[in-house]
Structure 1
Amino acid sequence: MDYLLKRNISCTRSTKLIIIFLSSFLFLIFIWHWMGSGFISRPDNDDLPISRSDSIYELDSIKDLSFLKWKSECLFFTCFEINSCRYGKENEEMIRVYVYPFSETLASMPHLQTYPSLLDHSDEYIQILETIRSSRYYEPLPEEACVFVPPFDTLNGRLINNRLTSYLLNNLKLWNNGSNHLIFSMLPWQKSHPNTTVPVYNYGKVLLMGGAFTVSNYRPGYDISIPVFNPLTIKYDYHQYHNIKSRQLLLVILVQSGADPHTVNHIRISLHQELIKGGVVMLGSCDLCSHCINERCDFHANKKLPYPDILQDSKYCMIVSDGTGRGTPDLMDVLMMGCVPVIIRNYELVLPFSEVIDWQRFAVFVWLEQLFQLMPILGSSRNGLILKQKQVLHVYSRYFRSIPAITMTTLDILNDRVFPINAQSYEDWNGHDDNQIWNVKHSHIKLPSTKKEEGFTAVILAYDRIDKLFQTVQSVAQAPSLAKFVIVWNHAYKSPPPLSDWPFVNKPIKIIRTKNNKLSNRFYPYSDITTAGILSLDDDINMMSSDEIEFGFQTWLEYPDRLVGYPGRVHRYNHKSANWVYDSEWTNNVSIVLTGAAFYHKYYHYHYTYLMPKAIRTWVDVHFNCEDIMFNFMISNITGLPPLKVTPRKRFKCKNCNTEGLVGDSAHYIKRTECINLFAKQFGDTFPLKSIKYRLDPVLYKVESKREKAFPKVGEL
């Protein structure tokens, strides 16, 4: 009995040992498989640029796999080293992009030169690299660059070995965990997970320029969503697809292979009557020719139709995606043919360049649950159909029609992030008429009032007239409500006077030296401007009394959204020449107040710098004129109101000053007449300048009274 008991105990122990051994063996196999395969299955052997056994042999020698970690929490200001960017060519602020030389990069990895497939580049990736090298952003010296582009083709994720690509990138001399490196990836990285835009072996802090993003794998403000380019579209001339009125079909529905059959069936039921009538066509891949490019099959009529030509016969086009973000090739076909896209919101796709392109201006968005109401929705948008189609063709031709256009748009977006002061505005990106780049009438804004005790900041634009500048500082310092001075020293090659030379005043003086002599520098939102109210002055406005300045400030406190100033001008229309004319205000009509002496809210510095089209600011800086006229255009366009002139003074020249300078030149008025007409064209049908026929003077001005006047010194007529 004891023998049997001992034997049973021995058998039990043996069984346990066998189970433990088998479990350990299976666990080791699992660990080996996990280390070898990256925990996610690799592409099929036919898709690999090198044999699977060779790639495992090379990569198994890599001991440190920490570089494969993905920085999904990356934001632009946490992972992008913005401080490494410096001034570009010709003293312009722009990113500098370095492209790794392919041959030199491989030469630094001699054990990888035995793989000839690494030398293969798609035509599209070659175009991307060539576009960068020929662009204004290109920098041939790596030490001078702040953005880097690897030489390896990563456009098609199905045709690359992810572990090998990770290894190659990690061995780039400037890789630094992918910081400031761009990777272009138009197609998903694996077949088993088609919605995976990011690589299987993720690349640290890289900025991914991806063509199949959804909200689940997109890092807003960091990655950039790009379109998937179809090289077959090159043979089509998108300019001929503009006559939307002659199109017979109302809607073409493109069903992608792999689309959810329940969604497809829901659409068929929702649009059953329209499909029978023939105004709506539902297209998908043909059963006998699932890979045919130039034709699609009509689900309802059971016939083949030419593709993408059929799209030019429809006013609207809707894509039924497989939900992975791979629908952008069809979306690009839709835009190329001038068809207004209908986009289903449920897919949560990140549309190409949606960071800057307003898709609401030319697309119709619906939920799947709204498809029963799709016809009324499309009917309500028909009034703006022509404008939508114009915007479709504009967006396609400007941003999507070629690899160079896609590449340059990507770099422009990145440059706007790094240098927001030079960033293009909303209208720069979305305006469809190059002759009217800012033709949107802004709604009236209500700027908050400020307390008198806060005072104002005197912002003086200075260059090299030291004596007049010092006189102006002494004069303005007498105003009781002055809080501080901000001197914008606009001389790029000469230093401002040392502090010991400046006149002694009882207000702080902050001197800001600009890098370039540009008129727009006076309207930059400097952090040193801490008050809401700004008194903008030229450095030679040294004749104003403290009463004039104080009365102007108190008037502005009552109208904080208006431009309140002293020297006024007027515009008038010449019917003979059919042009606007710039003139002085001796007729007592005022529509322009010069910013050489004017109060306004500091918000307008922000609006001028960041919201006004860059093309206008650039024109002003290049021609070195008319920044004050543009400032009046801008404020009147925002408020819909004219400026306000205060005090009776009309002449703003000191008695002992000579007539040198811009205003003393008669040709100056001719040039500024040209400015008004140029700016008028930018606003199209909306001409913002408004005239006013009165000025604001202190109470009891020119009235004989025994009472003490609050502002006795308001200047001479």
Structure 2
Amino acid sequence: MKAKKRYILVLFSCWFLILCCFGGYRLWKNDNSEARDFNYTKHTLRSYLDTHEIHREKDLVYSARLRRNERSTSADTVTCTMDTCFDFSRCKDDFKVYVYPVEDKISSVYRNILNVIEESRFYTKDPLQACLFILSLDTLDRDHLSPDYVKNMQIRLSQQAKYWNDGKNHLLFNLYSGTWPDYCEDLGFDVGQAIIAKASFSLSKFRPQFDISIPLFPKNHPNKGGERGTLTSNNFPVNQKYILVFKGKRYVHGIGSETRNSLYHVHNNNDIILVTTCRHGKSWKQMKDRRCETDNEEFDRWDYHFLMHNSTFCLVPRGRRLGSFRFLEALQAGCIPLLLSNGWELPFGEVIDWTKATVWADERLLLQVPDVVRSVNQTRVHALRQHTQILWENYFSSVEKIVMTTLE
């Protein structure tokens, strides 16, 4: 009986040892596999996206939008292309543009736009010869709080636009519409089949090869000619005193992007100067946060134009809208725009290769912006800066050049 128990105990011990050995091997194998996976991941993952990946993401959004537009058949969505919403028979003899007679008060900026068209080689006084029609109704500012906002636009349109035809062969200019966070771009009336030339266009609203993205320009933008770019032909050294600068507003009461509220994390008070102020709007003192006083003091220390003309890169973050005046200001100063505005369709982006004059960064990876600018070598910096001047002087230095580029 005792011998039988000893045999059972020996068999049980052998079985236990086999089980331990087999299980240990499995655990060792799994651990090594996981370690290899970890090491592979550690060496392949990067802390930020490179420029090509950002553009690839933009291209994917662009392609998805094209597919969505092709599938869209809803009655409340006008999906236009030049084939479906433009009558080319009106243009068989020549490209002529007709401007409706001005019957109401319009802003000085819109008056300048109409003057440029009326003085151009495209203008015709005969609507029967026109290929394209321009409204005399001021559509530039569709912000309800603006003094230039035109009320009852739909009624005025039906009364004054004799050749409207649901907007076909009409071109609408717009500088202001929509705001943070969803950037609703409704102009406040039914645009029908009209082409929209708009500032701060979002990729989600832009109709490719139909609409036109234009730059946001100020009221005092030169009507003709314009100032030359400030970058000298022998621009050495290539890198300026500062590598990246920004001086502007930040938003403490929910009307602008959160990105600007986080810029202080990147500001180093050395070669990266990113300063903001809360001082704007009537109620900023009542709504200010604990950082406002410190930010305002730092903001007052720096001169805006000095920073722009002494920096290699100028940050162009979204604000209340996707675009800002700073974009053109940076181009003129020969300061490479570092774009921090995901989803923005850049001005004339379908015909201008902006990779030759700008650098994109991703808003979601703000803390990696210093790495982005420091990774651009001197040869490319020199080329980018030179190209800002070419674009500024040929397409953006005056209202005339912006409008004529739009018509072309």
Alignment TM class, shorter chain as reference: 0.5 to 0.7
* Aligned partners of 1:229 and 1:402 also within 8 Å: no
Moved more, 369-378 or 315-324: 369-378
Alpha-carbon separation, structure 2, partners of 1:130 and 1:266? 42
Question: 1:495: which partner in 2?
Answer: none
The answer to whether structure 1 residue 364 and structure 2 residue 359 are counterparts is yes
Distance 1:194 1:98, change over 3 A: farther
Question: 1:385: which partner in 2?
Answer: 381
The one of 234, 239, 242 equivalent to 2:229 is: 239
Question: 1:157: which partner in 2?
Answer: 142
The one of 245, 253, 256 equivalent to 2:246 is: 253
Distance 1:336 1:165, change over 3 A: same
Alpha-carbon separation, structure 2, partners of 1:288 and 1:184? 28
Question: 1:216: which partner in 2?
Answer: 204
Distance 1:134 1:260, change over 3 A: closer
Unaligned runs of 5+ in 2: 1-74, 284-293
Question: 1:278: which partner in 2?
Answer: 270
The answer to whether structure 1 residue 101 and structure 2 residue 101 are counterparts is yes
Alpha-carbon separation, structure 1, partners of 2:231 and 2:219? 19
SS in 2 for 1:127: helix
Question: 1:582: which partner in 2?
Answer: none
* Aligned partners of 2:142 and 2:188 also within 8 Å: no
SS in 2 for 1:253: strand
Question: 2:67: which partner in 1?
Answer: none
- Percentage identity across aligned positions? 26
SS in 2 for 1:200: coil
Could you tell me how far 1:266 is from its partner in structure 2? 4.7
AA aligned opposite 2:337: P
* Aligned partners of 2:242 and 2:272 also within 8 Å: yes
Q: Deviations over 1:200-229 (max 9, x none)?
A: 222211111111211222222211111111
Distance 1:224 1:216, change over 3 A: same
Distance 1:193 1:265, change over 3 A: closer
Could you tell me how far 1:76 is from its partner in structure 2? 1.9
The one of 145, 160, 172 equivalent to 2:130 is: 145
SS in 2 for 1:73: coil
Distance 1:238 1:283, change over 3 A: farther
The answer to whether structure 1 residue 395 and structure 2 residue 391 are counterparts is yes
* Aligned partners of 2:139 and 2:150 also within 8 Å: no
SS in 1 for 2:337: strand
Alpha-carbon separation, structure 1, partners of 2:76 and 2:126? 28
AA aligned opposite 2:369: L
TM-score normalised by L of structure 2: 0.68
The answer to whether structure 1 residue 173 and structure 2 residue 179 are counterparts is no
Alpha-carbon separation, structure 1, partners of 2:335 and 2:351? 21
Could you tell me how far 1:100 is from its partner in structure 2? 1.3
* Aligned partners of 1:96 and 1:146 also within 8 Å: yes
The one of 340, 345, 354 equivalent to 1:350 is: 345
* Aligned partners of 2:245 and 2:274 also within 8 Å: yes
Compare relative contact order (CA 8 Å, sep 6+) and give the higher one, 1 or 2: 2
Alpha-carbon separation, structure 2, partners of 1:250 and 1:298? 21
Equivalent residue pairs, number = 310
Q: List aligned pairs for 1:34-113, cutoff 5 A.
A: 71-88=77-94, 95-102=95-102, 106=103
Question: 2:189: which partner in 1?
Answer: 201
SS in 1 for 2:298: coil
Alpha-carbon separation, structure 2, partners of 1:124 and 1:323? 21
SS in 1 for 2:152: helix
Could you tell me how far 1:265 is from its partner in structure 2? 5.4
Q: Deviations over 1:275-316 (max 9, x none)?
A: 33510111323537999xxxxx96683534333442111110
SS in 1 for 2:325: helix
* Aligned partners of 2:201 and 2:345 also within 8 Å: yes
Could you tell me how far 1:372 is from its partner in structure 2? 3.7
Q: List aligned pairs for 1:395-474, cutoff 5 A.
A: 395-412=391-408
Alpha-carbon separation, structure 1, partners of 2:173 and 2:260? 32
Distance 1:312 1:147, change over 3 A: same
Distance 1:318 1:359, change over 3 A: same
Alpha-carbon separation, structure 1, partners of 2:181 and 2:202? 13
* Aligned partners of 1:318 and 1:342 also within 8 Å: yes
SS in 1 for 2:385: helix
Could you tell me how far 1:404 is from its partner in structure 2? 0.5
The one of 116, 122, 125 equivalent to 1:131 is: 116
AA aligned opposite 1:203: V
Alpha-carbon separation, structure 1, partners of 2:182 and 2:141? 12
AA aligned opposite 1:335: L
* Aligned partners of 1:255 and 1:320 also within 8 Å: no
AA aligned opposite 1:97: V
Could you tell me how far 1:401 is from its partner in structure 2? 1.2
Question: 1:24: which partner in 2?
Answer: none
Alpha-carbon separation, structure 1, partners of 2:212 and 2:373? 30
* Aligned partners of 2:247 and 2:304 also within 8 Å: no
Distance 1:299 1:193, change over 3 A: closer
AA aligned opposite 2:396: F
Could you tell me how far 1:177 is from its partner in structure 2? 0.8
AA aligned opposite 1:211: A
SS in 2 for 1:328: coil
Could you tell me how far 1:239 is from its partner in structure 2? 3.3
SS in 1 for 2:112: helix
Alpha-carbon separation, structure 2, partners of 1:192 and 1:264? 12
Distance 1:164 1:309, change over 3 A: farther
TM-score normalised by L of structure 1: 0.40
* Aligned partners of 1:282 and 1:299 also within 8 Å: no
Could you tell me how far 1:154 is from its partner in structure 2? 1.5
Q: Deviations over 1:529-571 (max 9, x none)?
A: xxxxxxxxxxxxxxxxxxxxxxxxxxxxxxxxxxxxxxxxxxx
* Aligned partners of 2:245 and 2:315 also within 8 Å: yes
Alpha-carbon separation, structure 2, partners of 1:98 and 1:303? 48
Could you tell me how far 1:406 is from its partner in structure 2? 0.6
Structure with the greater alpha carbon radius of gyration: 1
SS in 1 for 2:243: strand
Distance 1:211 1:85, change over 3 A: same
